[in-house]
């Protein structure tokens, strides 16, 4: 086998063939183990936090959406309705596995949140994005979010834009 052929096997395949089969939907009980595996690739989010998130989902205070490639979880986003956020939920924890990025999955996950907020008759939907996360900010702007304020002026890397989209 040539070196090039071996490299193709080692690297993840070009995912253009799987693009059509990515499914975006609510996280279900049977996804739990697969989401834990997904979290192993995401910075700082532990199974302990996931369990708290699932408990909030069961209380209707949070919706967790996942992107599935077959049985594998390749993306996640949460929509938070807690802390007086009934009318203006907050998007959190948007993450897509690196080999699956730039294929529209992040956009689809955020769109799913917008639809879910509309279904609950919310007035607006909000998101915080680090000021230097230009890729994420561009996605939100394309989906109609506008910057409304900036939080934390102390160190530029830590500052976040609060972005809002009316529904």
Ligand X SMILES: CC(C)(COP(=O)(O)OP(=O)(O)OC[C@H]1O[C@@H](n2cnc3c(N)ncnc32)[C@H](O)[C@@H]1OP(=O)(O)O)[C@@H](O)C(=O)NCCC(=O)NCCS
H-type alpha helices, 16-84? 32-39, 47-58
H-type alpha helices, 69-104? none
Nearer to ligand X (CB atom), residue 73 or residue 96 = 96
Nearer to ligand X (CB atom), residue 46 or residue 58 = 46
Query: CB of residue 94 vs ligand X: minimum separation in angstroms?
Result: 4
Tokens found for residue 59: 């209380």
Please say whether the beta carbons of 23 and 112 come within 8 A: no
Q: How many CB atoms lie within 10 A of CB 109?
A: 24
Q: Which stretch binds ligand X (CB under 6 A): 22-30, 55-63, 129-137, 146-154?
A: 129-137
Sheet with 62-69, strands from edge to edge, namely 22-26, 62-69, 72-80, 90-96, 124-130, 160-166, 146-151
From residue 87 to residue 126, the character string flagging contacts with ligand X as x (rule: CB under 6 A) and all else as - is -------xxx----xxxxxxx-------------------
Among 73, 122, 139, 163, contact with ligand X (rule: CB under 6 A): 139
Q: Does 159 bind ligand X (CB under 6 A)?
A: no
Residues that bind ligand X (CB under 6 A): 94-96, 101-107, 129, 133, 135-136, 138-139
């Amino acid at each position: 086998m040539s070196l090039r052929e071996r490299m193709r096997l080692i690297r993840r395949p070009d995912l253009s063939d799987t693009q059509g089969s990515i499914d975006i939907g609510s996280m279900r009980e049977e996804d739990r183990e697969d989401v834990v595996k997904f979290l192993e690739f995401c910075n700082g989010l532990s199974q302990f936090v996931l369990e708290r998130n699932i408990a909030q989902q069961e209380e209707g205070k949070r919706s967790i959406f996942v992107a599935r490639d077959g049985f594998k979880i390749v993306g996640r986003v949460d929509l938070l309705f807690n802390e007086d956020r009934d009318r203006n939920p907050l998007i959190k924890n948007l993450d897509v596995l690196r080999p699956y990025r730039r294929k529209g999955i992040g956009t689809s996950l955020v769109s799913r949140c917008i639809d879910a907020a509309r279904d609950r008759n919310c007035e607006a939907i909000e998101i915080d994005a680090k000021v230097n996360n230009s890729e994420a900010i561009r996605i939100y702007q394309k989906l109609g979010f506008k910057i409304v304020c900036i939080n934390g002026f102390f160190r530029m890397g830590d500052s976040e834009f609060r972005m809002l989209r009316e529904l």
